[in-house]
């Protein structure tokens, strides 16, 4: 489907990774009234995000799945081995070890469970939803569309954005009924391009977010 077909009113808009930029731009454009589950995490593998959704976040970020992964900056962040997701912003760093502070993990996990419960409830409530995903192949987004069709009771669309080198937004051919695919620079935030991509996408007041 084309970008002009995806414009309209949605009851909820959620980022599905792969990094924080999607959530940041939804917030900047007034389309993010609450935190999504993957907003402040790195989730580069779309097949693993599909697995996460298919399993309804089962054991996501549970202690048995976690290890530390070292970043180029030297920071050691919590990493979910099962779903290939890195926690970035929800836990403070212990600067003496350059690792996430595990003393705050119980509070984070309670917050994560609230986000998951809210997300699954919204998906099961018949609302019209838009999901924004940065990075993914056509085969991967087809899998995502299939998984969401079993998770979301109402109508939904997916906006897939892949990285482009030129300073432009280009629509890509996509025969999937619920998917719009575009390409634009994602390594830097280019406001005019994001303004154009999200133009005409409006958030209703149907869901009372808490």
Domains contained in the chain, number: 1
| Phi, psi values for residue 195, rounded to 5° | -60, -40
Instruction: Please name the residues in contact with 187: beta carbons below 8 A apart, sequence gap of 6 or more.
Output: 163
| Phi, psi values for residue 41, rounded to 5° | -130, 165
Residue 38 covered by a domain: yes
The whole-number average pLDDT for the span 30-44 is 95
80 pLDDT tier (thresholds 50, 70, 90): very high
Q: What is the structure's pLDDT at 20?
A: 94
Determine the Cα–Cα distance for residues 192 and 59; give it in Å rounded to an integer: 39
210 pLDDT tier (thresholds 50, 70, 90): low
Instruction: Please name the residues in contact with 195: beta carbons below 8 A apart, sequence gap of 6 or more.
Output: 29
The whole-number average pLDDT for the span 173-195 is 93
The conformational region for residue 74 under phi > 0 = left, psi -120 to 50 = alpha, else beta, is: left
Q: Write out the residue range of the structural domain in which residue 14 sits.
A: 3-203
pLDDT at 209 > cutoff 80 = no
Residue 208 covered by a domain: no
Residue 70 covered by a domain: yes
CB 167 within 8 A of CB 158: no
Check: pTM over 0.85? Answer yes or no: yes
Using CB atoms within 10 A of its CB, is residue 74 exposed (0-12), middle (13-18) or buried (19+)? exposed
What Cα–Cα distance (Å) separates residue 116 from each residue in 53, 123, 168?
10, 11, 35
């Amino acid at each position: 489907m084309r970008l002009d077909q995806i414009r309209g009113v949605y009851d909820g808009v959620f980022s599905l990774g792969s990094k924080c930029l999607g959530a940041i731009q939804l917030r900047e454009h007034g389309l993010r009234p609450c935190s999504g589950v993957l907003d402040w995490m790195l989730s580069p593998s779309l097949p693993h995000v599909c697995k996460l959704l298919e399993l309804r976040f089962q054991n996501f970020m549970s202690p048995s799945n976690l290890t530390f992964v070292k970043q180029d900056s030297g920071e050691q962040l919590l990493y979910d081995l099962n779903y290939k997701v890195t926690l970035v912003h929800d836990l403070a760093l212990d600067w003496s070890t350059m690792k996430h502070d595990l003393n705050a993990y119980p509070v984070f996990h309670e917050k994560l469970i609230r986000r998951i419960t809210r997300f699954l409830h919204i998906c099961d409530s018949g609302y019209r939803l838009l999901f924004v995903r940065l990075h993914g192949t056509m085969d991967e987004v087809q899998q995502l569309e299939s998984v969401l069709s079993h998770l979301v009771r109402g109508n939904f669309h997916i906006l897939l954005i892949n990285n482009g080198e030129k300073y432009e937004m280009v629509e890509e051919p996509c025969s999937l009924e619920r998917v719009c695919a575009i390409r634009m620079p994602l390594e830097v935030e280019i406001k005019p391009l994001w303004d154009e991509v999200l133009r005409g996408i409006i958030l209703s007041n149907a869901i009372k977010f808490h």
